[in-house]
Amino acid sequence: MIRPVNVVLGLFAVCFMTAIHAGQSDFDKPITVDAKSQFVDGKNKTSIFKDDVHITQGSMEIRADEVEVIATDGEGKEIFIARGNPAVYAQDMDDGSRVSAQANTITYSVTSRAITLDGGAQLVRDTSMVQGDLIEFDMEKEQLLAQSSGEGEERRVTTVFRPEEFRNLQQSEDATDPPESDDPPESNEPENKDVPN
């Protein structure tokens, strides 16, 4: 049973240190799926793409071994389920940075503008990386929810900050600390004076 470990993490506050916005123009562009084979079930409104599947929407890219497209809710409301070993996702943000992610399964919901990473999930941006069994990334709300399915001490979600981030944090802390004096501490013992013979 999957249990939440860390509550919702505001990306701008905890995980990625600065606000993160998916390229808004990406969502206005058509979604293209390229693969070596395709099976369409018109009655159930589903499609299966296999072998080196590549999904693009603007700067957004998803690569997988197999992609299932569910279109039962109509055009523009599709759900893309990408499976791979691993499946990978990448997208440019409005600030020029690039977010990348990988998992055994990546689910992209067109209407909610969110991706769910399931199984060996990892999401990276700039100097930060989040790992867990399940990661939900909401591009509209700038929020990320990471979960672990382990029990006890195995219930772990890992967030890694690279050394340059730690240096910046340390410099901020040092700036608030009072300066230390270089003068030696005063001694209360009387001075020894030379006595002439």
Q: Tens digit of pLDDT for each residue in 166-176?
A: 455 556 666 66
pLDDT exceeds cutoff 50 at 7: no
Q: Where are the domains of the chain?
A: 3-174
Chain Cα centroid distance, residue 134: 11
Q: Contact at 8 Å (CB) between 140 and 113?
A: yes
Q: Contact at 8 Å (CB) between 106 and 85?
A: no
Give the pLDDT band (50/70/90) at residue 1. Answer: very low
Quote the pLDDT of residue 98.
87
3-174 topology per CATH: lipopolysaccharide transport protein A fold (2.60.450)
pTM over 0.85: no
Indicate the helix (H) or strand (E) that contains 171. helix 163-176
Q: What is the rounded CA–CA span in Å between residue 90 and residue 57?
A: 11
Give the pLDDT band (50/70/90) at residue 163. Answer: low
Geometric angle at alpha carbon 119, from 134 and 151, rounded to 5°: 65
pLDDT exceeds cutoff 50 at 13: no
The rounded radius of gyration (Å) of the Cα atoms in the chain is 26
Q: What is the rounded CA–CA span in Å between residue 62 and residue 169?
A: 34
Count the alpha carbons within 13 Å of 101 in the hemisphere toward its beta carbon: 34
Count the alpha carbons within 13 Å of 142 in the hemisphere toward its beta carbon: 16
